[in-house]
Chain A
């Protein structure tokens, strides 16, 4: 190392800062420093960069992951409501309801044929941080096995984002739509289901989450074990968490107004736990997961609400051309039938006519 003179050279700066320089070089460097303001500025900058890298703990993988997570939290709602599928997995294993007349066949395929594993989309070995996204269109359902052994059933019109492998201590998935989770027990690694407004934390339980973006509420129904639900709104965190007991349902109202609580919640027995936006009430939890057996259960629901469920289930569009009809209420169960059979069943108690063309159904008053 002879000439310090002409160039600004990172290595000289590093040696000087670290103090690993022989006497001669050090003197040369100090002379060089005194030659100009510019040289000194360069050296000071090197020092500052060194200090900042350490202070910001920026070489830490954890720091980087935390930064990414913060970005993800901010862009996630945008992803969830995005129209075009994002990062769509190349293989989607779903079964259309509409195409199979004999619904029994569907469930033979879906539920007895083992689980579908979705390959990570890039197909390379860079596994850290690789996410899959499964998009289930209306009229279909899907079933998958996560890398930790947890099982997920996805209802129609649902999007689930999950890592190809759970690398972190946390097991995290992101949900838009409805899914039933059977989480493999692992007390050391909490399982998180993120939705736009709330986050559900469990260690190993079975529960159903309904979080469609076009609905006002997010419903979590617990079958067994225990789950903790937190709002994502960090500003209003205090007192807004809820611990859910088996056979209870927590309803979260996305739009603050509590008075907007629907008929269902008001009918329900006094809520066991209640905050501004959460209501929890005892339910027959099996009803809420009956969709995965192909059942549609209506509990004093209006035709308007039912139509929406049918739209999702069968991938059709239903227009109700009569205001009064929209408010007509039903209680009952529809099992593994075609859309036309379903409409016919509804017709039994209300007087309406319907017309089916392709995937469009128009219901009018008689």
Chain B
């Protein structure tokens, strides 16, 4: 699944392949949702914005031809659509052609992707419950007692989750250090 084949897949989409479209969707849905969350207040809205983009892509597949980066187009569109949606000042629809001319804000996209990939790798080393416990503790600043209540588990389990999370994060980073 390397990104080089985006354009190949897109060509298949243009030929009517729903399967190629599904691969593209599943490839970019997670990072785009998180990217949209940089501009939007809640995750449902972010997901909706990304779904919306893919519906538009499908509907306009015959008009959209990508010669360079499909990915940059996606990021630029999400950025644009999210901001527009949040502000809601510009109600009028912007033609797709205009959308494509928007500056890609390449640096912003690159920085995001780099962070996203690194964090994703770390997070994926953690089991689901561990992940949630950790976020509640570090980001929501909840105490272990509060987390225990919220997740309906014992304080001891919370402690176990946190220490496991730390151990795994450490391991994942060390692994990366030794195998860059």
Contacts and interface: CB of A to CB of B under 8 A. Distances in A.
Interface in A102-161: 121-122, 129-131, 133, 161
A101 B82 CA distance: 61
Contacts of B120: 53, 59
Nearest to A48: B38
Interface string A42-54: 1001111111111
Nearest to B38: A48
Main secondary structure, interface of B, reads helix
Contact of B18 (A52, A84, A131): A131
B9 to A, nearest CB: 11
Interface residues of B, number: 47
B116 A49 contact: yes
28 contacts: A11-B118, A14-B169, A18-B134, A18-B169, A20-B166, A42-B111, A49-B34, A50-B119, A50-B139, A51-B135, A51-B139, A52-B37, A52-B43, A53-B30, A53-B116, A53-B120, A54-B132, A54-B135, A54-B139, A55-B43, A68-B22, A71-B58, A75-B55, A75-B58, A75-B59, A87-B17, A130-B19, A131-B22
Interface stretch (B44-52, B70-78, B87-95, B142-150): B44-52
Contacts of B135: 50-51, 54-55
A3 interface: no
A187 interface: no
Contacts, number: 135
B24 to A, nearest CB: 11
B138 interface: yes
A239 interface: no
Contacts of B43: 52, 55-56
Given A56-B34, A68-B25, A75-B58, A17 B111 contact: no
Interface residues of A, number: 48
Contacts of B138: 17-19
Counting chain B CB atoms within 10 Å of each CB, the highest count among A48, A53, A161 belongs to A53
Nearest to A74: B55
A207 to B, nearest CB: 26
Nearest to B53: A71
Interface in A29-74: 42, 45-56, 58-59, 64, 67-68, 70-71, 74
Interface in A69-83: 70-71, 74-75, 78-79, 82
Nearest to A126: B23
Interface of A: 1, 8, 10-11, 13-15, 17-20, 42, 45-56, 58-59, 64, 67-68, 70-71, 74-75, 78-79, 82, 84-88, 121-122, 129-131, 133, 161
B95 to A, nearest CB: 20
A50 B169 contact: no
A46 B173 contact: no
B25 A58 contact: no
Interface of B: 16-19, 22, 25-26, 29-30, 33-34, 37-38, 43, 46-47, 50-51, 54-55, 58-59, 111-112, 114-120, 122-124, 131-132, 134-135, 138-139, 165-166, 169-170, 173, 176-177
Contacts of A11: 118, 173, 176-177
Contacts of A50: 119, 123, 135, 139
A239 to B, nearest CB: 27
Contacts of A74: 51, 55
A59 B169 contact: no
Nearest 9 A/B pairs, CB to CB: A10-B118, A56-B43, A86-B16, A52-B37, A54-B135, A58-B30, A18-B169, A51-B139, A20-B170
